[in-house]
Amino acid sequence: MRVLLVTGKGGVGKTSVAAATAAHAARAGTRTLLVSTDPAHSLADALDVEVGDAPTPLAPGLEAAQVDARRRLVDSWDDIRAYLVTLLRWGGLDEVAAEELALLPGLDELFALADIRSHVDAGAADLLVVDCAPTAETLRLLSLPDVLGWYLERGFDLERTLARVVRPMLGRRSEVPLPDDAVVGSVGRLYHALERVRDVLLDTATTSVRLVCTPERVVIAETRRTHTALGLFGYHVDGVVVNRVLPEEASGPYLDTWRQSQARGLAAVREGFTGVTLLTAPLLEDEPIGLTALAELGARTYEGLDPTTRLSDGEPLRLWRDGDEAELSVALPFAERDDVDVFRRADELYVAVDGHTRSILLPQQLRRARVVAAGLADGRLDVRFAVPDASR
């Protein structure tokens, strides 16, 4: 099973490229499932057919689904939400504000993503193409398994600790509302589900990210930031699809000027995304709507390449160890020395790049190790550790 996450800035053509990739792969005989996790679904519009929450057959070897995130949210979050509301009201918030806060932003997308795991487990397809939400949302949501896991683990623990410590001091009236078994059970299930989907998404042999952009400076800049952040979160980006590239046959003075500007954009992509395969999709005269047009767009995008393979290699995280020395290497494409901050707290290493912070739970063998140096080279952050002798 291969999972392809298709993402990029709003409006660049994510849905079209995801659908084109799926249609093209299915034509070549790969059993393919196209899934949209973007709460603003538009697969049905691109395909020009009805697409439901469960996989809908479209053609031989091709199915599509638009996850009903609202429904997943109610199923998995409702009792947790109710508990959070009680807790927030106990903390002094009024009902409306508490209700508002208990719905963490991005949760609907998160539940939609959690569905990927069940599709992988069902094994009904060999290729899963995911039409993700635009850059900012997707990033937040892709990083949420980290954040939410941390929150759920420590947050709920904290509540219990708080109750134990604070309750005797406050007396009966101010008791911290404790989560009941149903809530604790829901949290456990949710945490488990997130962990399982994260295992799939961070398994670089299974999952690759394809970034979609257009050959315009602003779009390229944002796409590079997305690439850095994805590297930081451990995702493997194997291809960049530059969409809406003027085809050869388009000509005229106006178009020629535009083509020159696009050529500069393409050069910037070529320079900026070293190690990642570059694909181009032509600007079509008409919107690519319906399977035939999409499969054709897919064929022109991938040319001879097989969309299901890993288009380029690269390891998000690498660990090297030799006696009492170890080095942890994190892929951070495009990060500049000034943007990166590394610090250590207990058994976690924090890497902050451009406003995103990721905590890397250090492998067992590095938990007692000391950071001795950190450096940026060839798009990787290398952190050196001195490992204490276990026998002493």
Ligand X SMILES: Nc1ncnc2c1ncn2[C@@H]1O[C@H](COP(=O)(O)OP(=O)(O)OP(=O)(O)O)[C@@H](O)[C@H]1O
Looking at beta carbons only, is 16 or 186 nearer to Mg ion? 16
DSSP state of 51: -
Q: Report d(CA 155, CA 277) in Å as an integer.
A: 41
Furthest-apart CA pair in the chain: how many Å?
Answer: 81
Using the contact rule CB under 6 A, the part of the chain among 10-18, 192-200, 359-367, 376-384 near ligand X is: 10-18
List the one residue from 15, 56, 204, 262 that touches ligand X (CB under 6 A): 15
| 228 counts as binding ligand X under rule CB under 6 A | no
Looking at beta carbons only, is 28 or 283 nearer to ligand X? 283
| Collapsed DSSP state (helix, strand, coil) of residue 357 | strand
Looking at beta carbons only, is 204 or 243 nearer to ligand X? 243
Residue 200 CA neighbour count, 13 Å, CB half: 20
Could you tell me which of 260, 384, 259, 247 has the C-alpha nearest to residue 323?
384
Q: Both tokens of residue 179?
A: 């989560």
- Rule CB under 6 A: which of 39-98 touch ligand X? 42
| 14 counts as binding ligand X under rule CB under 6 A | yes
Q: Which of ligand X, Mg ion, none lies near 10, with the C-beta cut-off 5 to 8 A by kind?
A: ligand X
Looking at beta carbons only, is 18 or 229 nearer to Mg ion? 18
Q: What minimum distance in Å lies between the beta carbon of 210 and ligand X?
A: 12
| 10 counts as binding ligand X under rule CB under 6 A | yes
Look at strands 237-245 and 277-282 and give their pairing. Answer: parallel
- What is the DSSP track for 143-201? HHHHHHHHIIIIIHHHHHHHHHHHHHHH-GGGPPPPP-HHHHHHHHHHHHHHHHHHHHH
List the one residue from 56, 243, 280, 329 that touches ligand X (CB under 6 A): 243
DSSP state of 373: E
Q: What minimum distance in Å lies between the beta carbon of 249 and ligand X?
A: 14
Q: Report d(CA 238, CA 15) in Å as an integer.
A: 18
| 135 counts as binding Mg ion under rule CB under 5 A | no
| 42 counts as binding Mg ion under rule CB under 5 A | yes
Could you tell me which of 132, 129, 130, 123 has the C-alpha nearest to residue 1?
123
| 281 counts as binding ligand X under rule CB under 6 A | yes
List the one residue from 1, 12, 15, 143 that touches Mg ion (CB under 5 A): 15
**Between vectors from CA 54 to CA 143 and to CA 126, what angle results, nearest 5°?**
70
- Rule CB under 6 A: which of 127-186 touch ligand X? 134
Q: Report d(CA 111, CA 53) in Å as an integer.
A: 13
> What amino acid occupies position 58?
L
Q: What minimum distance in Å lies between the beta carbon of 158 and ligand X?
A: 37
Q: Which of ligand X, Mg ion, none lies near 243, with the C-beta cut-off 5 to 8 A by kind?
A: ligand X
Site size with ligand X, rule: CB under 6 A: 17
| 243 counts as binding Mg ion under rule CB under 5 A | no
Looking at beta carbons only, is 134 or 333 nearer to ligand X? 134
Query: Which parts of this chain interact with ligand X (CB under 6 A)?
Result: 10-16, 38, 42, 134, 243-244, 281, 283-284, 287-288
Query: Which parts of this chain interact with Mg ion (CB under 5 A)?
Result: 14-15, 42
